[in-house]
Amino acid sequence: MLEALFEGLVLVLQWKALVFMLLGIGLGFWVGLLPGLGGATTLALMLPFIYTMQPVEAFAFLLGMHAVVATTGDITSVLFGVPGEGTTAATILDGHAMAKKGEAGRALGAALASSLVGAIVGAFALAAAIPVVRPLVLSFGSPELFMLAIVGLAFIASLSSQGGRGMLRGFLAGGLGLLLATVGQDPQAGVARYSLGTLYLWQGLDLVPVLVGIFAIPEVIDLVVRGTSIAGTLPSGRLSGALEGVKDTFRHFWLTIRCSLIGTFIGIMPGMGGAVAQWMAYAHATQSARNAEERKGFGAGDVRGVLGPGAANNSKEGGSLIPTIAFGVPGSTAMAILLGGFFLLGLVPGPDMLTRHLPVTFSMVWTIVIANIITVLACFVFLNRLARLTTVRGQLLTPVILVLVFIGSYTSNNHYGDIVVTLLFGGIGYLMVLGGWPRAPFVLGLVLGKIAENYLYISVARYEAAWLTRPVVMVLLALAIVVIVYPLFQSRRRGAHA
């Protein structure tokens, strides 16, 4: 296997492939940065161009472009509080909060460095797991995936604030998310649930308009109210540098690694969806708070809230290659398009990709790693200058941000309904912030609702009651219970120490 690893690297380092990778990176940089330029749409637009390329070059181009989107999406999240991509919303919570404290440079540094660590760790975890990955994925059937969704939902408890009232609101937010996830035509009876008589809601609520609304709109309102720049009135007038953020990544190294592993694992599991990884990582990061004070700091600008999702949403990219190329099951729209690209280049996804064609698989993994290294290094050059955007007058930035918000949401379905959804959830997000309700559980509920429901029905239909006693299911159930109980246990322990 080591030879395959090496061969893969050699494949990537041919100069032509590198050139195309750079082209892809250049394109992917802007795609991730700008809301409205969706990774999936752009990939679809690029497909025709790869017909004329050699397979390795084409992969380098497509993957180079795709690998970078999650990294640069973090930049818009941190600087403006607008999710550049659906997968970078979690970084807004603490990343943008840091920007408002004048620590934009540090947040950006942390986001980028953790993205890089995530990509590398994810790649290596993947390489190491290749021998067991097929049996692993095959042993995770619908019951196990349902339980995994339950574990994800259990994180709602961690994401809620402290105390009884905090838990109540956390569960309410999560419950609302779960309820909203049922909007749309259900796959059991075909009933168009809660479509309110509109065609727009037939297929359910799209994640991006909701995220953009619930996170970006309150930020914009706050920006207008404050009347200052994003960074507000700084005491010393100096912005903290990106280097500080890099140091943070190493100060909390084990957390970053753990979140990378979470991301890789979620990425490998087909059918979990891209948005889940970052929120589970964020939830895990909040668990690393050592006392109640620290716990409150999350959401107000704790760098760990940036490290977690930053690492996870990159490591999951490497992970999600596995279901795509080893099983032909794409984990996201972007992967589905990549899969189309693979077909075009004559590659047949299947077990062969992990055995006979292992070097090609590794070359893809290497592409992701190298693309991320190049991007991060390139970004660092002008990271501090980017951070200065947070000192620009609010009046100039607000229209830009709002245009980005509106177009970013509109491109979900090219329908005015998208904007209505954004405005509506903007209002809800604003109320939540005003009332002190946590928004993260809501997102988790929304993202995991459909998955949980579908897998439950499949499990019961297929196995009746027997699925409950499958070994992995019981392990995951225990894990879910631990995840729910842990924060309660932690707060009691903190209470004892206080």
CB of 450 to other proteins, least distance (A): 8
Q: Choose between 121 and 451: whose C-beta lies nearer to other proteins.
A: 451
Of the residues 13, 131, 132, 187, which one makes contact with other proteins according to CB under 8 A: 187
Q: For 38-196, list the strands marked E by DSSP.
A: 184-185, 192-193
| Residue of 243, 257, 402, 468 that binds other proteins (CB under 8 A) | 402
Of 140 and 380, the one with the shorter C-beta distance to other proteins is 140
Q: Pick from 22, 423, 472, 477 the residue near other proteins by CB under 8 A.
A: 423
Distance CA 194, CA 171 (A): 22
Binders of other proteins in range 351-390 (CB under 8 A): none
The answer to whether 304 contacts other proteins (rule: CB under 8 A) is: no
The secondary element (H helix, E strand) that includes residue 255 is helix 253-268
Q: Is 26 near other proteins (CB under 8 A)? A: no
For other proteins, what does the binding mask look like between residues 233 and 272, x meaning CB under 8 A? -------------------------------------xx-
Q: How many Cβ atoms are within 10 Å of 354's Cβ, its own excluded?
A: 18
Question: 380: helix, coil or strand?
Answer: helix
Residue 418: phi and psi, rounded to 5, are -60, -45
* Whole-number Å distance between alpha carbons of 64 and 374: 10
What does the alpha-carbon distance between residue 102 and residue 242 come to, in Å, rounded to a whole number? Answer: 12
Residue (of 319, 334, 323, 317) closest to 270 by Cα position: 323
3-class SS shares of the chain: helix, strand, coil, % to 5 = 80, 0, 20
Tell me whether residue 291 or residue 413 sits nearer to other proteins (CB atom).
413
Q: How far is the CB of 190 from other proteins (least distance, A)?
A: 4
Q: Which one among 234, 244, 411, 470 touches other proteins, defined by CB under 8 A? A: 411
SS3 70: helix
Q: Does 291 bind other proteins (CB under 8 A)?
A: no
Residue 432 within binding range of other proteins, rule CB under 8 A: yes
Among residue numbers 466 through 495, which ones bind other proteins (CB under 8 A)?
none
Question: Distance between CA atoms of 434 and 162, rounded to whole angstroms?
Answer: 17
DSSP state of 206: -
Q: What is the number of other CB atoms lying within 10 angstroms of the CB of residue 1?
A: 11
138-177 residues in contact with other proteins (CB under 8 A) are 138-139, 141-142, 159-161, 163, 165-166, 168-169, 171-172, 175-176
Please say which residue, 241 or 271, places its beta carbon nearer to other proteins. Answer: 271
User: Interface residues for other proteins in 188-217 (CB under 8 A)?
Assistant: 188-194, 197, 199-200, 202-203, 217
